[in-house]
Amino acid sequence: MNTTFNTQIKKKTSMGDILTKLGPLLVLVILYVVFSFALPGRFLRIANQMNILRQTSINCLIASGMLLALITAGIDLSVGYNTILSTCVIAVLMQRFGITNPVFLICCAITASTFCGFINGTLLTRLDLPHPFVSTLGMKFVLWGVALLITNSQTIGFSNKGIDTVLWIGRKTIFDIGFPVSFILVILVYMVFHVFLNHSALGRQIYCVGGNPEAARMSGIKSKNVLTIVYTISGFMCGIAGVVLAGRLNTANTASAATYDTDAIAACIIGGASFRGGKGTIWGTLLGALLISAIRNGLNLFSAGNDIQYIVIGSVIILAVTIDVTRGKLEARARKMAAT
């Protein structure tokens, strides 16, 4: 009797996993169908779809690092201004010091953001903070202040033609349809993350630290080192996103980070990650990011203001979190019933 019951529980759990993985894709398809009928000849235009991919690229790169933090049952609230800091580093080096060497500029930008991520991880693990919410929230405002300080609170335009190579990846498109190079970068990065999370020892340790901290400790996993690496990688991805953002906006603007952190969190949660840790896939995160960009794009085509867009995106995030919490309760109940 117990064997039959346990089998039923496993089937329900596997069905839940399938729905978690396919749910974002199903919602994205439904959204496309709705917008294609509501905005005939506009939403499905090739130029508009390429614009969605271009807009998604920044969020995808930031969300890849955020995913690692969420898998460890953490969060990184500093990603928005860490990305902006990377862009500001390029702008300041160009404007004040006349540096135009693309390799040097990109390395400096990514190094700065990676170091900030390392500080996040170090604060969390060495101070034994109960949750990274505190340290990353504080770092968010520190980075905001640093960005304002080094730019003198001014928007800096990338007018120097000598740094076109730096901005190339955020600007360049290929093929006749104008496919953005930045999204090709996203695909390459996500392929690396897929292999890293699923086929490397460190990737499995990341899931273990978030899903079962006690088991991780008993198995000899150095959780503090894993967490430090996770937040360092998150900073590294912010650096790459900042380089792409520089080419996309053609300016370094400290006011442009308003929604980067929430969009990244939303992309991960919609894609199947959980605040409880131990869950999440990189491809689910990609679907979540595409879903958010498609919603924003559709609302823009409807001429909806920022107020309406914030309400809709916020509602989507609340819905995704509600589903996550409900799913967690059902899984806990299933495990409890299986144990009895």
Q: Is the pLDDT of residue 27 over 50?
A: yes
Inside any domain, residue 14 = no
Give the whole-angstrom CA distance, residue 82 versus residue 199.
Answer: 29
Per-residue pLDDT, averaged over 327-336, amounts to: 75
Inside any domain, residue 100 = yes
When divided into structural domains, the chain yields a total of 1
pLDDT-wise least confident of 17-21, 191-195, 312-316? 17-21
Q: Residue 5: which pLDDT band, with cuts at 50, 70 and 90?
A: very low
**Strands in 16-138 per DSSP E:** none
Inside any domain, residue 102 = yes
Per-residue pLDDT, averaged over 324-332, amounts to: 76
pLDDT at residue 9 in the model: 38
What crossing angle do the helices spanning 2-38 and 282-301 adopt, rounded to 10°?
A: 30
Inside any domain, residue 48 = yes
Name the one residue in this structure whose structure tokens are 């980075």.
143
The answer to whether residues 132 and 69 touch, using CB atoms and an 8 Å cutoff, is yes
Inside any domain, residue 9 = no
Q: Residue 319: which pLDDT band, with cuts at 50, 70 and 90?
A: confident
Give the whole-angstrom CA distance, residue 244 versus residue 182.
Answer: 7
Share of the chain above pLDDT 70, in %: 93
Q: Residue 15: which pLDDT band, with cuts at 50, 70 and 90?
A: low
Inside any domain, residue 238 = yes
196, 186, 206, 203: which is closest to 286 by C-alpha?
186
Inside any domain, residue 4 = no
pLDDT-wise least confident of 50-64, 190-204, 250-264? 250-264
Q: Residue 10: which pLDDT band, with cuts at 50, 70 and 90?
A: very low
Q: Is the pLDDT of residue 12 over 50?
A: no
Q: What is the CATH number of the domain that holds 110?
A: 1.10.3470
pLDDT at residue 3 in the model: 47
Per-residue pLDDT, averaged over 326-338, amounts to: 75
pLDDT at residue 1 in the model: 43
pLDDT in tens, 116-171: 999 999 999 988 887 899 899 999 999 999 999 999 988 888 876 667 778 888 88
pLDDT-wise least confident of 65-69, 234-238, 325-329? 325-329
Q: Is the pLDDT of residue 51 over 90?
A: yes
The b-or-e profile of 67-89 (16+ CB within 10 A means b, else e) is: bbbbbbbbbbbbbbbbbbbbbbb
pLDDT at residue 18 in the model: 61
Task: Quote the mean pLDDT of the chain.
Answer: 87
Residue length, the chain? 340
Q: Residue 193: which pLDDT band, with cuts at 50, 70 and 90?
A: very high
Residue 77 belongs to domain spanning: 20-339
The b-or-e profile of 5-16 (16+ CB within 10 A means b, else e) is: eeeebeeeeeee
Q: Is the pLDDT of residue 6 over 60?
A: no
Inside any domain, residue 1 = no
The answer to whether residues 186 and 282 touch, using CB atoms and an 8 Å cutoff, is no
Share of the chain above pLDDT 90, in %: 54
pLDDT at residue 96 in the model: 87
